[in-house]
Structure 1
Amino acid sequence: MTDHRDPASRPPLTSGGTAPRHEAQALTKGGCVAEIELDGKVYTLRITRAGKLILTK
C-alpha cells in the first residue's frame, strides 16, 4: 500500500498532465459537496456559489 505522506512514494506533479484529473461536479454527483477519505480521515470538498473549491478536514 502506498503511503501518501511519504514524498518519495508519490508520483511527481508536473504541468505536463501526468496527474489524474477529475471533474469536481462528477465527484459531487452534480451537487456541491463530496467527502474524500485519506488514511482514515474524511475531508469535505465544497463547490461555492462563486465556483471556487474549498477542502476542509
Structure 2
Amino acid sequence: MQMIDRPATRSATRTDPPESRDPREARQTRLRAPGPQVPSLPLHDARLLTEGGDMARIALDGQVYTLRITRQGKLILTK
C-alpha cells in the first residue's frame, strides 16, 4: 500500500502571529471589525413594492420617482 502525504489542514481559529498573515487578510479583518450599533432600518421587498411587476412609482415631497427591476435583478431609481 502506498502512503500519500497530505497537507495539514488549518483549524478554524488562527494561531499564526499577525505579522505572518497576508496583509490583504488583515485589511479585510479590520473592515469587518464591529463598530457602534446601528439602529435597524426598515426593509422593503422590491417585488412587493412593484406588486409582482417590474416597476413602481414612489412619491417623496411632491416628486414622483420610478423604481425599476431590471432583467438582471438590479434596481434602478429615476426621477
Query: Could you say which structure has the higher helix fraction?
Result: 2
Mark yes or no: TM-score above 0.5.
yes
In structure 2, the residue matched to 1:22 is: 44
Q: Percent sequence identity over matched residues?
A: 63
- Higher normalized contact order (CA 8 Å, seq sep 6+, divided by chain length): 1
User: Which of residues 59, 67, 71 in structure 2 aligns to 1:37?
Assistant: 59
Which structure has the greater CA radius of gyration?
2
- TM-score, with length taken from structure 1: 0.70
**Displacement, 1:17?**
6.2
Q: Distance in 2 between matches of 1:55 and 1:43?
A: 7
Residue 52 and residue 17 in structure 1: after superposition, are their counterparts in 2 closer, same or farther (change >3 A)?
A: farther
- Which portions of structure 1, spanning 4 or more consecutive aligned residues, are displaced by more than 4 angstroms? none
Structure 1, unpaired ranges of 5+:
1-14
Q: Distance in 2 between matches of 1:17 and 1:55?
A: 24
Equivalences, count: 43
Structure 2, unpaired ranges of 5+:
1-36
Q: Does 1:51 find its partner at 2:79?
A: no
